[in-house]
Amino acid sequence: MQTSELPDLAHTDTRPLHWLATAAALAAVVAVAGMLQPEPAASASTHRTTTGQGPAPAAPDPRRVTYPLDCGGQEHTVARQATGDLDGDGRPETVAVVHCAAGSGTPPSGVYVLTQGSGAAPRVVATLVDPAQRMSVGDLEVRDGAVSATLFGYSSLDVPRCCPDEREDVTWRWQGGAFVRSARTAPAGA
């Protein structure tokens, strides 16, 4: 095996000036990247309105609401929430899935629409699913002014409460001053 000597490459020697120049160039790239950030993305479930009257109103906080839910002295749990403008007034509503806090089992859920006036406390304005229906809620989404959810239920009292045997995909849309419920269709090929 033959060895050959490599030529002395002066440009491969690093000096403090090289490191300083590299650090300065990197800092400049980071600074420019920070200034060129895009606008924050709006979620698909919110509608932006430009009124020139300051920031958009905040969605109602579901933790600050008194729900029409009898938990027998126990606390309630907000299991899911989604926000969006459901009635087209430019103010976001919150849809909350709420059930009684339970140590075990699957307590029935309620699905509530919350609104909040300027300076007022948030309040329930509609019940989409009443806990008396003994349903539990899977997916929840607000998109394009509609509420979509997957509901799970029981075909009889003989079905164990842990294992719902019925499933329904539903959508609610604000029409004529009320939320109108319809069944969702699955996409082709699903």
Q: What is the pLDDT of residue 22?
A: 67
Asked whether residue 118 is assigned to any structural domain, the reply reads yes
- Note the pTM of the prediction, 2 decimals: 0.68
Over the chain (190 residues), what is each successive 10-residue block's mean pLDDT?
Answer: 52 62 64 52 39 70 92 91 93 95 82 89 95 93 96 91 90 94 66
132 in a domain, yes or no?
yes
Total tally of structural domains belonging to the chain: 1
Give phi and psi for 132, each to the nearest 5.
-65, -20
Query: Quick one: pLDDT at residue 5?
Result: 58
Order of strands across the sheet with 146-153? 136-143, 146-153, 166-175, 178-183
Establish if 173 belongs to a structural domain.
yes
pLDDT at 72: 86
At a CB cut-off of 8 Å and minimum separation 6, what does 133 contact?
108, 153
Q: Output the pLDDT for position 151.
A: 96
Is 2 domain-assigned? no
DSSP assignment of 23-55, as one string?
HHHHHHHHHHHHHTPPPPPPPTT------SSSS
Which residue range forms the structural domain that includes residue 135?
62-183
At 25, give phi and psi (nearest 5°). -65, -40
Task: Specify if 45 maps to a domain.
Answer: no
Which pLDDT score is estimated for 106?
77
The answer to whether residue 11 sits within a structural domain is no
User: Is there a domain that residue 91 lies in?
Assistant: yes
Residue at 170 is within a domain: yes
What contacts 31, CB < 8 A, 6 or more positions away?
A: none
pLDDT of residue 185: 60
